Amino acid sequence: MTISCQAAMESAKPLEPFNYEPKDLGPKDIEIAITHCGVCHTDVHLIDNDWGISSYPLVPGHEIVGTIAALGSEVTHLEAGQRVGVGGQAGACCECEQCEKGQDIFCGSSIYTAVHDFGGFATAIHVDSRFAFPIPESMASEIAAPLLCAGITTFVPLRKYVNSTSKVGVIGVGGLGHVALQYANAFGCEVTAFSTSPDKSDEAIALGAHHFVNSKDPAQMEAVAGKLDFILSTVSADLEWGPYLGALAPNGTICVVGVGETITIPAVPLIFGQKTITSSLIGNRSDFKEMLAFSAMHNIAPRVEVVPMSQAADAINQVRTARLGHRIVLENK
Ligand SMILES: [Zn+2]
Ligand SMILES: [Zn+2]
């Protein structure tokens, strides 16, 4: 079979049509006929080789949803025609110490989608069946696709650090932040959205925030000083961290999931408030299953714009140049 894709043939080049012959299905692999694939800012980083891990031709796409077209001889937990999703990890050894601890994300043999193999801007993909997750019946495929990245990235740290009495801040109301606000609300928290765009206030409240803070306004930042137990930073810009440390209550935690260049932390407020800066990287296989079930139960729905797969190059340009408050999802018709 031939898989038709949209690929960057060199670093930072526009996507163009590209075909490849996949390797034969291994016994644990499945072939997915892709119906939808979300577009993420990470795709831009990979196309541009910003992290020095890209190889070309590079087929982006790590928010993959489709139906199972073929199964390897040892795959018994999935069936042909079933709807499944694949996120940023498409394989691991499943035998090493990290895998055995359920921390397969840290497996030294991890296969990152679109990095170690071709990604989901394509008609099909072959992946390890253990990294393909059934999509809940009630969840539309275009909603499931961004949840496999924006969803898992924000769900995992919130589940780990907050409970229903937590006062939670979310920095950014963009591609990640607009999903994080929904989760924080669904976890029963009192939610504060931080944004540099005051015009995002109504949207943030509609998504589940109880309060909105214009982070460019020192008086508004001062008004939340010492109030929050946990802050999730979803923006990819470098931030001035002092005011956010100030917004934390003693023993509070800031978790960074947006990828900036550097994190510069003032030491005194960190130490005197005994505060924590941490991070979170997508999620393990068990996390994906929990995230999908929780999202279906609580109707977590990323805002999406669905466009044909043939418009992938244009979609990448939009994600590259605009600060979108929603996710673009490519669709194979
Ligand atoms: Zn992503
Ligand atoms: Zn492993």
Q: Same domain for 47 and 78?
A: yes
Q: Which ligand is nearest to the CA of 285?
A: 2
Q: If you measure from the C-alpha of residue 226 to the centroid of ligand 1, how many angstroms do you get, rounded to a whole number?
A: 32
Distance separating alpha carbons of residues 333 and 328, to the nearest angstrom: 16
CATH number, domain of 196, equals 3.40.50.720
Domains in the chain, number: 2
Q: Which ligand is nearest to the CA of 107?
A: 2
Q: Which ligand is nearest to the CA of 284?
A: 2
Q: If you measure from the C-alpha of residue 153 to the centroid of ligand 2, how many angstroms do you get, rounded to a whole number?
A: 21
Q: Same domain for 176 and 124?
A: no
Distance separating alpha carbons of residues 247 and 224, to the nearest angstrom: 6
Q: If you measure from the C-alpha of residue 102 to the centroid of ligand 2, how many angstroms do you get, rounded to a whole number?
A: 9
pLDDT in the model for residue 141: 98
pLDDT in the model for residue 260: 75
pLDDT per residue as tens, the chain (333 positions): 899 999 999 999 999 999 999 999 999 999 999 999 999 999 999 999 999 999 999 999 999 999 999 999 999 999 999 999 999 999 999 999 999 999 999 999 999 999 999 999 999 999 999 999 999 999 999 999 999 999 999 999 999 999 999 999 999 998 899 999 999 999 999 999 999 999 999 999 999 999 999 999 999 999 999 999 999 999 988 889 999 999 999 999 999 998 777 888 999 889 999 999 999 999 999 999 999 999 999 999 999 999 999 999 999 999 998 877 789 999 998
Q: If you measure from the C-alpha of residue 282 to the centroid of ligand 1, how many angstroms do you get, rounded to a whole number?
A: 9
Decide: 168 and 228 in contact? Cβ < 8 Å.
Answer: yes
Q: If you measure from the C-alpha of residue 151 to the centroid of ligand 1, how many angstroms do you get, rounded to a whole number?
A: 9
Q: If you measure from the C-alpha of residue 50 to the centroid of ligand 1, how many angstroms do you get, rounded to a whole number?
A: 14
Q: Same domain for 15 and 126?
A: yes
pLDDT in the model for residue 137: 96
Q: If you measure from the C-alpha of residue 93 to the centroid of ligand 2, how many angstroms do you get, rounded to a whole number?
A: 4
Q: Same domain for 169 and 229?
A: yes
Q: If you measure from the C-alpha of residue 104 to the centroid of ligand 2, how many angstroms do you get, rounded to a whole number?
A: 6
Please check whether residue 297 lies inside any domain of the structure. Answer: no
Q: Which ligand is nearest to the CA of 282?
A: 1
3-state secondary structure the chain: CCEEEEEECCCCCCCEEEEECCCCCCCCEEEEEEEEEEECHHHHHHHCCCCCCCCCCECCCCCEEEEEEEECCCCCCCCCCCEEEECCEEECCCCCHHHHCCCHHHCCCCEECCCCCCCCCECEEEEEHHHCEECCCCCCHHHHHHHHHHHHHHHHHHHHHCCCCCEEEEECCCCCHHHHHHHHHHCCCEEEEEECCHHHHHHHHHHCCCEEEECCCHHHHHHCCCCEEEEEECCCCCCCCHHHHHHEEEEEEEEECCCCCCCCCCHHHHHHCCCEEEECCCCCHHHHHHHHHHHHHCCCCCCEEEEEHHHHHHHHHHHHHCCCCCEEEEECC
Q: Which ligand is nearest to the CA of 89?
A: 1
Decide: 8 and 114 in contact? Cβ < 8 Å.
Answer: no
- Written as six digits, the tokens of 15 are 């996507």
Please check whether residue 139 lies inside any domain of the structure. Answer: no
Q: Which ligand is nearest to the CA of 104?
A: 2
Q: If you measure from the C-alpha of residue 128 to the centroid of ligand 2, how many angstroms do you get, rounded to a whole number?
A: 13
Q: If you measure from the C-alpha of residue 110 to the centroid of ligand 2, how many angstroms do you get, rounded to a whole number?
A: 7
Q: Torsion-angle region of residue 207: left (phi > 0), alpha (psi -120 to 50) or beta?
A: alpha
Q: Same domain for 208 and 233?
A: yes
Decide: 303 and 203 in contact? Cβ < 8 Å.
Answer: no
Q: If you measure from the C-alpha of residue 322 to the centroid of ligand 1, how many angstroms do you get, rounded to a whole number?
A: 16
pLDDT in the model for residue 236: 83
Q: Which ligand is nearest to the CA of 95?
A: 2
Distance separating alpha carbons of residues 163 and 315, to the nearest angstrom: 37
Q: Which ligand is nearest to the CA of 86?
A: 1
Please check whether residue 291 lies inside any domain of the structure. Answer: no
Q: If you measure from the C-alpha of residue 47 to the centroid of ligand 2, how many angstroms do you get, rounded to a whole number?
A: 27
Q: Which ligand is nearest to the CA of 105?
A: 2
Please check whether residue 140 lies inside any domain of the structure. Answer: no
Burial-class residue 251 by CB neighbours within 10 Å (0-12, 13-18, 19+). Answer: exposed
Please check whether residue 145 lies inside any domain of the structure. Answer: no
Q: What residues make up the domain containing 246?
A: 150-279
Please check whether residue 120 lies inside any domain of the structure. Answer: yes
Q: If you measure from the C-alpha of residue 169 to the centroid of ligand 1, how many angstroms do you get, rounded to a whole number?
A: 21
Q: Same domain for 16 and 127?
A: yes
pLDDT in the model for residue 262: 85
Exposure string (b/e) for 117-146, b if CB count within 10 Å is 16 or more?
bbbbbbbbbbbbbbbbbbbeeebebbbbbb
